[in-house]
């Protein structure tokens, strides 16, 4: 499958790392453009990465059920920040917890060294508009 | 520098991610700050409509609420975002500058409670609503103290 990343992904330098049937893992390198306080990632950049991972997981799930042309509208997001993002690459992946006819619930986590030690996690609700 | 002056802070430039997005200072009051995010094609999240992504709005609201805390404490001291919730009320209008207003409405010994709204011209027609908490570091008991914490 192909994951279409928007222009905004280029500011974060996000790329799709692995996707062999599984929900894609997004990779964001450490760079000045995603810096918050000196030496740490900006919470907003982490949030942007989490949202892109969530949408990528949702596109993946929609494609799997043959609804790839459905439109996705964000309703809300809640981000929890667990650890500071340090000077190293960050990865993020989403999990679709429920995909309904009109609403999807998605969770995403971002990590650096170990997936078991997330730096941030988010819950999102999306509206699905099917033609 | 005594206290915290958001305009002085903004003239230094936001640096890092804020600068990459083109974020600017807009206005501030006793416990609030407003930032501006001019429309830029590099921020687009939906190429079909030209609507900017939600990530830059979170970044702006994180920063506007952060500024509100520094203004309320009258000190530029470290704090860390604990959580931030954003409700996307409607898409931002392509071509329009988004204004984000953050307010610190309560601060305790360890937590700052913040809220805010974003709009693109009419404050009565907001496009996003946010609520969040920050972990604050250092002495806030006297509020307005400018005691720098040495980590």
Average pLDDT, chain B: 88
Q: Tell whether A36 lies on the interface with B, counting CB pairs under 8 A.
A: yes
Chain B residue with CA closest to A43: the answer is B59
Residue B10 is predicted with a pLDDT of 75
Chain B residue with CA closest to A10: the answer is B42
Cα dihedral: A92, A94, A95, A98 (round 10) = 160
How many angstroms separate the CA atoms of B75 and B71, rounded? 7
- Residue from A5, A8, A49, A131 whose CB has the most chain B CBs within 10 Å, to mutate: A8
Q: How confident is the model at residue B15 (pLDDT cuts 50, 70, 90)?
A: confident
Q: How confident is the model at residue B140 (pLDDT cuts 50, 70, 90)?
A: low
Closest by CA to A57, choosing from A118, A126, A130, A9, is: A126
Residues of B in contact with A34 (CB under 8 A): 16-17, 20
Q: Tell whether A84 lies on the interface with B, counting CB pairs under 8 A.
A: yes
Sequence-distant (≥ 6) Cβ neighbours of residue B131 within 8 angstroms: B84, B85, B114, B115
The yes-or-no verdict on residue A18 having pLDDT over 90 is no
More confident residue, A106 or B2: A106
How many angstroms separate the CA atoms of A1 and A90, rounded? 23
Residues of A in contact with B55 (CB under 8 A): 8, 12, 44-45, 47-49, 51-52
How many angstroms separate the CA atoms of A41 and B35, rounded? 20
Q: How confident is the model at residue B141 (pLDDT cuts 50, 70, 90)?
A: very low
Residue A78 to residue B16, Cβ atoms within 8 A:
no
Query: Between A42, A51, A76, which is nearest B16 by CB?
Result: A42
- Name the one residue in this structure whose structure tokens are 């994951």: A3
Residue B17 to residue A42, Cβ atoms within 8 A:
yes
Q: Output phi, psi for B104, to 5 deg.
A: -105, 105
Q: What is the helix (H) or strand (E) element at residue B145, kind and residue range?
A: none
* Cα angle value B1/B75/B104 (rounded, 5°): 145
Residue A12 to residue B15, Cβ atoms within 8 A:
no
Q: How confident is the model at residue B9 (pLDDT cuts 50, 70, 90)?
A: confident
The yes-or-no verdict on residue B77 having pLDDT over 90 is no
Residue B6 is predicted with a pLDDT of 83
Average pLDDT for A100-115: 96
Token pair belonging to A78: 């809640």
Of the candidate ranges B9-13, B36-40, B54-58, B79-83, the one whose mean pLDDT is the lowest:
B9-13
CB atoms within 10 A of CB A44: 28
Token pair belonging to A51: 């949202």
Please give the share of chain B, as a percent, with pLDDT higher than 70.
88
CB atoms within 10 A of CB B76: 17
DSSP string, B49-103: TTEEPHHHHHHHHHHHHHHHHHHHHTS---EEEEEEEEEE-SPPPTTSPEEEEEE
Q: What is the pLDDT of residues A23-42, one digit of tens each?
A: 899 999 999 999 998 899 99
**CA dist B14 to A32, A37, B64, B112, Å?**
12, 10, 11, 22
Q: How confident is the model at residue B139 (pLDDT cuts 50, 70, 90)?
A: low
Residue B147 is predicted with a pLDDT of 40
- Residue from B16, B42, B78, B112 whose CB has the most chain A CBs within 10 Å, to mutate: B16
Residue B61 is predicted with a pLDDT of 97
Query: Between B52, B53, B88, which is nearest A75 by CB?
Result: B88
Average pLDDT for A49-63: 94
Nearest chain B CA: its distance from A22 CA (Å): 23
How many angstroms separate the CA atoms of A53 and A75, rounded? 16
Q: How confident is the model at residue A98 (pLDDT cuts 50, 70, 90)?
A: very high
ipTM: 0.92
Q: Tell whether A37 lies on the interface with B, counting CB pairs under 8 A.
A: yes
């Amino acid at each position: 499958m192909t994951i279409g990343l928007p222009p905004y992904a280029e500011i974060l330098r996000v790329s799709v790392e692995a996707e062999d049937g599984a929900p894609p893992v997004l990779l964001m390198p450490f760079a000045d453009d995603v810096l918050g306080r000196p030496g740490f990632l900006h919470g907003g950049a982490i949030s942007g990465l989490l949202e892109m991972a969530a949408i990528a997981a949702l596109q993946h799930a929609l494609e799997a059920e043959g609804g790839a042309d459905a439109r996705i509208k964000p309703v809300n997001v809640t981000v929890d920040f667990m650890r500071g993002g340090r000077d190293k690459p960050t990865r993020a992946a989403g999990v679709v917890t429920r995909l309904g006819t009109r609403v999807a619930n998605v969770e995403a986590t971002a990590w650096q060294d170990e997936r078991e030690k997330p730096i941030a996690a988010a819950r999102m609700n999306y509206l699905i508009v099917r033609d | 520098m005594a206290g915290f002056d958001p305009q002085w802070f903004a003239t230094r430039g936001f640096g890092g991610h804020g600068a990459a997005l083109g974020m600017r200072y807009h206005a501030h009051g006793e416990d609030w700050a407003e930032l501006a995010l001019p429309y830029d094609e590099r921020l687009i999240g939906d190429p079909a409509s030209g609507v900017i992504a939600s990530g830059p709005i979170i970044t702006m609201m994180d920063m506007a609420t952060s500024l509100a805390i520094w203004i309320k404490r009258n000190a530029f001291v470290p704090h860390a975002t604990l959580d931030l919730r954003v409700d996307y009320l409607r898409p931002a209008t392509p071509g329009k500058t988004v204004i984000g207003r953050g307010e610190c409405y309560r601060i305790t010994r360890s937590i700052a409670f913040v809220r805010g709204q974003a709009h693109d011209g009419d404050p009565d027609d907001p496009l996003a609503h946010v609520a969040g908490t920050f972990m604050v570091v250092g002495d806030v008991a006297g509020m307005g103290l400018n005691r720098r914490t040495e980590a």
